[in-house]
Amino acid sequence: AKKSGAAAVVSTTPFYMNIGQEELVNYYEKLADSIDLPLFLYNMPGNTHKHIDPATAAKLAKHPNIVGLKDSSGDPYTFQAYLEALKSFPEFSVLVGPEEILADTLAMGGNGGVTGGANLFPKLYVALFEAFEKGETDRVQELQEVILYLSEQLYQNENYSSSYLKGLKATMSFEGLCQGNLALPLYSYSEGLENRRLALFHYSTFIVRYFKLEDWKIIQKRLLLKAMCGVPRDHVNHIS
């Protein structure tokens, strides 16, 4: 990874085996000792079924090569507990995964986010962070509303537990950033769902790149209605 240009390593907890917090500490310390890149802890209990306790994170923050934590639990209370446990380590970064609570976690004292949508619209997420740094609370809220809209339209499909990854990979493939293939046991959307996602993606792209904040509510309703009605992809340039 370092030879390929990686700046850090993000590591989830081990899964399958039943392990406790002391074993997590031992695991991460040995991992941090064995690599040349800085290490970020990754709390993703929804996938690994293992949770990094805030006290465990505080113990690991003492290691010179463990520099931060990404929390994808989606629970603001868990995020707040990390901030409280790590307040004695100001250089230790606490980042959020789910972009739906990005603004909230920044307000709590978080250092930023590692979000899926930033792969598609990086400037949108940078703009929100910069607005927060400048104290522009109204701007932060407006940009967070756009992020929530993208989340609802691009990632969520109640028919699949894996809808987030399916939606993200599909929309990234529309942008030419990657192929839309998924490793088994996951698989890509059907052609019909792909076409619907493609329509929603292009309208979402229009929103992010061209919308005026004061017209956001009007544009949101108009584009959502058009996308749901199956307006062809090549009509996107004719929306006023």
Q: Which residues are catalytically annotated?
A: 42, 70
Q: Cα angle vertex 134, ends 130, 140, to 5°?
A: 60
Q: How far apart are CA 52 and CA 10, in angstroms?
A: 14
CA distances from 229 to 155, 221, 223, 238 (A): 19, 12, 10, 16
Nearest Cα neighbor of 172 from 201, 203, 206 is: 201
CA distances from 75 to 27, 85, 96, 99 (A): 25, 16, 10, 12
The kind and range of the H/E element at 214 are none
Written as six digits, the tokens of 133 are: 């740094």
Question: With left for phi above 0 and alpha for psi between -120 and 50, is residue 100 left, alpha or beta?
Answer: alpha
Sheet with 93-96, edge to edge strand ranges:
9-12, 39-43, 66-71, 93-96, 112-113
Nearest Cα neighbor of 234 from 199, 194, 185 is: 199
